[in-house]
Amino acid sequence: MSTVDLKYPVTVDGKTYASLTLRRSTVGDLAAADLVTGATKQAAAVLASVCGVPMNVILGLDTIDYSALAEASAAVMGESAAAA
């Protein structure tokens, strides 16, 4: 597991997220991408699944925080999955 502290916390449905923790991924997490269209939304869906948060949390991230989260995801998803 890896935790990313957000420089710009996100509030969704009245809950503020100041950090996100990524757990090891499963095939089910990757399948979350099948539920949406567009490369960015597919990547966001996978990250939301791995972090256990609503997708709107990922979509609301500042791009600096999104980049840090995507980089951290390599450790829990493997290099090739993170690039996909």
Write the pLDDT tens digit of every residue in 42-73: 999 999 999 999 999 999 999 999 999 999 99
DSSP 23: P
The pTM score is 0.86
pLDDT at 41 over 60: yes
The answer to whether the CB of 12 falls within 8 A of the CB of 60 is yes
Which of 31, 67, 73 lies closest to 51 in space, CA to CA?
A: 73
